[in-house]
Amino acid sequence: MRALPLRPALRRPLASVLLLTGWLAACGPDLQPNPDDVPDIEDPGNAPQEPNIRHVDNGDGTLTTTLDATSSEKWIGFDLDQRQQVEGTEDKQWDLAFQRFHIRVRGGVNGSGAVAAAILADADFAQVSQAPAEGYVTDAEDGADENTDPDTAFESGTAWYSYDPRTHQLSPRSMLYVVRTDEGAYFKVRILSYYDAAGTPAMFQLHWGSVKPPAPQG
């Protein structure tokens, strides 16, 4: 039986399919994700988002938290009192906020929560069970330094990190921060690392837990 010729109306869709298939085959390698790209957390669609903050309970009253601050557009807010991620751009709820290597507290120039931090250099994490009575600082306007960024509690003076100009990598300093939250509670926080196992920057790992308020003075 002789095959019937395709009607002109059917030729165009078939030709379009063949053309699209050939284009995809030719451009296939260009459509693969670049493993060197740092993924952006934000998605303009309606798909549910993976959290930027994940906790591991250490079984001793402390947590080890991985915080994804890789977005250069979004501040990741962290409510220590509620142990959860919150909107870090608006002045509400959060105690700490992270974006790349920057860390804010919600106090001073960065909010009305009166959040402040006391810095304990080389303190033993396990031995600190009570907050100090003094030494708290909050985020302030930029002072006389090399940049124009606000002088935050975590970055002014001796910043939370040291920078290696040879490798261009950041390493957390051996410092313990005691944070007074917007609810008046106290938490000890140590930054363990800035990179994940794959070497991705802005993947903070924090060791933290609650401590008793300062001893009454006088």
pLDDT at 127: 97
φ, ψ of residue 133 in degrees (nearest 5): -85, -20
Q: Once rounded to an integer, what is the mean pLDDT over residues 16-24?
A: 38
Q: Is 117 strand, coil or helix?
A: strand
Q: What is the mean pLDDT of the chain?
A: 81
Partnered with residue 75 across adjacent β-strands are none
Say if residue 16 is exposed, middle or buried (CB neighbours under 10 Å; 0-12, 13-18, 19+).
exposed
**Tokens representing 107?**
């106090």
Evaluated on CA atoms 102, 108, 111, 115, the torsion sign reads positive
* 15 pLDDT higher than 60: no
pLDDT at 157: 84
Q: Comparing 73 with 25, which gets the higher pLDDT?
A: 73
Q: Once rounded to an integer, what is the mean pLDDT over residues 124-152?
A: 87
pLDDT > 70 fraction of the chain, expressed in percent and rounded: 74
- Whether the model clears a pTM of 0.85, i.e. scores above it, the answer is no
Q: Domain segments of the chain: what residues?
A: 53-211
Q: How far apart are CA 141 and CA 177, in angstroms?
A: 20
